[in-house]
Chains A and B, each alone.
Chain A
Amino acid sequence: MSEAIEPEIDVDALKEQGVDLEVAEKVAPERDIVTKVGEALVQVQNLTIKFGGLTALDNVTFDINRGEILGLIGPNGAGKTTCFNAMTGVYKPTAGKVLLEGKLLNGLPQHKITRRGLARTFQNIRLFGEMTALENVVVGLDARHRTSVGGALFRLPSHVREEKTAIERGMALLEFVGIADHAHFLSRHLPYGYQRRLEIARALATDPKVLCLDEPAAGFNPAEKEELMSLIRTIRDDGYTVLLIEHDMKLVMGVTDRIVVLEFGKKIADDVPKVIRDDPKVISAYLGEPEDDVA
């Protein structure tokens, strides 16, 4: 079922998921993406990361195609988060390249990588606890704003305009992930599940071309996981490309269009979920027993 990807927005499906189309319209970014749907948006080429003598990531190569949900899986310590961190500039790769739309990301400061269009969430939630939910999202929106000290000090018209649209878009994003009624709460006061959703909203606020989610369903029960996955599907249907790290095989199989499997820092498989499920290497590395009722 997961292979059935519709590049165009499935309006009925969105309605079915309870998405307000007007809200979705406001959230929908004015993205300027050269890459066509289905072509490689992000290219990870021969990425290698060494910490001292330890090779955390060994010559990993894969593409993320525009409009897909790519799953990145592997046993604990396989290098999934390391790969994430290398892509988003937290770690400097020992060797190899990360390209976004053909442009090199290596060596750019992290905030510039975000502005290029690569946004992420964190495995352990890292919200700004003393800020309200809305303020958290607006920090993300600020990535696209130009106001600096001068504009803010003298309340220049451009600053006023940015502030006003930020409120509107911020609220729309909160509504999109389903927590708009909690906009005025400090994020550290929010329940766990809402914090996870807020992280996604904050990442979406930076107007990314690729949204990288690092185990967004960690600590969720199956019902909540299912909901989150439908949210992720909605995000994809809305025109974003998603890279997803997730442990839960059932979910990964259900939601992704393609899966890259890492083990001990090496890529051992890269294919559609159906093939991955039957790949003996993957099974021995990760799955153990093949599951019958997957997806």
Chain B
Amino acid sequence: MSTTDGPTLMPDDAAAQDIADREAKGRQRKGWFPGLGDKWNALPRHIQWLILIVVVVIAYLLPILNPPLITTDPGNNWQIALAQMSVYALVAVGLNVVVGYAGLLDLGYVAFFALGSYTAAMFTSPDSPYVHIPYLWTLPLAMAITMFFGVLLGVPTLRLRGDYLAIVTLGFGEIVRILATIIPAMKGQVGFQNVGHPPGTDSSGQPIFLNSNGTPWYWFTLSVIIIVLLAAGNLERSRVGRAWIAIREDEDAAEIMGVPTFKYKVWAFAIGASVGGLSGALFAGQVGFVNNQKFDIATSILFVAAVVMGGTGNKVGALLGGSLVAYIPLRFTAIAEFKYLIFGAALVLIMIFRPGGLLPARQSLLAYGRLAYNKVKGALGGNTVPGPTKTRPPGQVATEPAKGAGNE
């Protein structure tokens, strides 16, 4: 048998060993939480739900618990800090659809955040001369408007790839901010005061949603995040999610395998944009004041940093990254002015030691894949290392022991 014929298809044992080695290598690379994703995926569904419920309950209790050490008091009000963290988390979850799933580097995401904020402000603030609608209605409106702009930006630009797309989106981010400065109706630096809030008063007649009270805003945003996460999960485990990941992995191959790549890239952009708009509207409501100062490029880069830090492609990772990016400067007020320096250094370190981000757990792309995988694993005796199989076509001669496929 010639050895010059290139890599050989390995006999069963060698192949199994080779795969086991590679898997082990993959796990080692995960670093801080070894095999966390694997362990999580191995848990039965009902236990996963139970853990999730506990986590959600704790998340809801956070403003009341005000846990020592973690809390941002006394430097910054803990409840308001939580509200801001939740908005950033939502932004990261939305941007993760664009950057993490579809692999489209969007450096101008702040534009959608700004559009959402301005939508909420211009339709509710008394400073605005336009039609006024209840605050809650501005949320779907902001989503619709930003989605429209997402498609508007996506259709011409998504024919570009990689760096070119990043530059164009960067430009778009600046355009929105500059328009807010030069269009009189958007009131530049003066901005809009007293942006609306959801209705409802407590027993003393005070509105529940006050700018000075973060708790209801935090609960409200948290609920929105949970809905968005469920929706993102549904998309992930469907044709849509698979199309996105396929595009990220190899766009040309995806197209040839029948994925309408352009359509799904525009969808990723539109969905990402609408979540950005939604978070912008929530941000405007919580802060109560919108002007052109909050939507600079640095914020946009911060959003991308949040996604990359948390774990590109993993919605829970993005959630974590988003909260951390908001949390760190609030918690450590002494270093807040160096936040870009610190995030920069942190990003470099993460890229070196943990290229997948803090939580690089792989997304599952099949709604009913669990059954099939378990069947396969069960057939192998619960062993993750595959053994010899009976389905292999016979005549597969065990060639000379290969020392691993040399195709890498």
A binds B: yes
Among A126, A167, A185, which residue has its beta carbon within 8 angstroms of that of B368? A167
Residue in chain B with minimal CB distance to A226 = B395
A222, B5: Cβ atoms closer than 8 Å = yes
Residues of A130-177 whose CB lies within 8 A of B: 130-132, 134-135, 138-140, 142-145, 147-149, 151-155, 159-160, 162-164, 166-167, 170-171, 175
For chain B, residues 1 to 50, give those with C-beta under 8 angstroms from any C-beta of chain A. Answer: 1-2, 5-10, 15, 18-19, 22-23, 26
Question: Known contacts A185-B23, A192-B407, A219-B7: does B372 contact A171 (CB below 8 Å)?
Answer: yes
A148 to B242, CA, bound (A): 11
Measured CA separation A195–B9 after assembly (Å): 10
* B264: min CB distance to chain A, Å: 9
Known: A114-B258, A221-B8. A178 touches B369 (CB 8 A): no
B380-404 contacts to A (CB < 8 Å):
380, 386-387, 389, 391-397, 399
Q: A175-B391, A181-B389, A227-B393 are in contact. Are A115 and B258 (CB under 8 A)?
A: yes
CB-defined contacts of A162 to chain B, threshold 8 Å:
239
Once A134-B366, A134-B372 are accepted as A-B contacts, the answer to whether A184 and B19 lie under 8 Å apart by CB is no
Enumerate chain B residues within 8 angstroms of A184, measured Cβ to Cβ. Answer: 372-373, 376-377
B238–A224 CB distance below 8 A: no
Which residues on the A side are within 8 Å of B396 (C-beta)? 223-224, 227
The residues of B that contact A138 with a CB separation of less than 8 Å are 242, 365-366
B239→A167 contact, CB < 8 A: no
Q: Which residues of chain A are near B373, meaning CB under 8 Å?
A: 132, 134, 183-184
Assuming the contacts A167-B368, A219-B7, asked whether A139 and B234 have C-beta atoms less than 8 A apart, the reply is: no
* Nearest CB on A from B392, distance (A): 5
In the bound complex, what is the Cα–Cα distance between A24 and B234 (angstroms)? Answer: 32
Cβ of A166 and Cβ of B366 under 8 Å apart?
yes
A35 CB–B CB distance under 8 Å: no
| B386 vs chain A, min Cβ distance (A) | 5
Could you mark each residue 244-259 of chain B with 1 if its beta carbon is under 8 Å from any beta carbon of chain A, else 0? 0110111011111111
In this complex, the interface size class of chain B, counting residues with CB under 8 Å from chain A, is 35 or more
CB within 8 Å for A153 and B258 given contacts A129-B249, A223-B397, A227-B396: no
- The chain B residue with its CB closest to the CB of A154 is B234
Contact of A223 with B1 at beta-carbon distance under 8 Å, contacts A147-B239, A153-B231, A167-B372 already known: yes
CB proximity to A under 8 Å, residues B245-298: 245-246, 248-250, 252-261, 267, 271
Q: Mark A82-117, 1 if CB is under 8 A from B, else 0.
A: 000000101000000000000000000111001100
Q: Would you call B330 an interface residue if the criterion is a C-beta within 8 Å of the partner chain's C-beta atoms? A: no
Q: Which residues of A contact B240 (CB under 8 A)?
A: 147-149, 152
In the complex, which residues of chain A have a beta carbon less than 8 angstroms from the beta carbon of B368? 163-164, 167
Contact (A142, B259) CB under 8 Å given A148-B240, A221-B2: yes
Q: Please report B residues at the A interface, Cβ cutoff 8 Å.
A: 1-2, 5-10, 15, 18-19, 22-23, 26, 231, 234-235, 237-243, 245-246, 248-250, 252-261, 267, 271, 362, 365-369, 371-373, 376-377, 379-380, 386-387, 389, 391-397, 399, 405-407
Q: Which 6 A-B pairs have the closest CB atoms?
A: A143-B258, A193-B9, A152-B238, A219-B6, A192-B405, A114-B258
Q: List 26 A-B contacts (CB under 8 A).
A: A19-B393, A20-B391, A90-B256, A126-B250, A129-B249, A131-B365, A134-B366, A134-B369, A135-B245, A135-B366, A144-B258, A149-B240, A152-B240, A153-B234, A155-B234, A163-B237, A163-B366, A178-B392, A181-B386, A182-B376, A189-B19, A192-B407, A194-B9, A218-B6, A221-B9, A223-B399
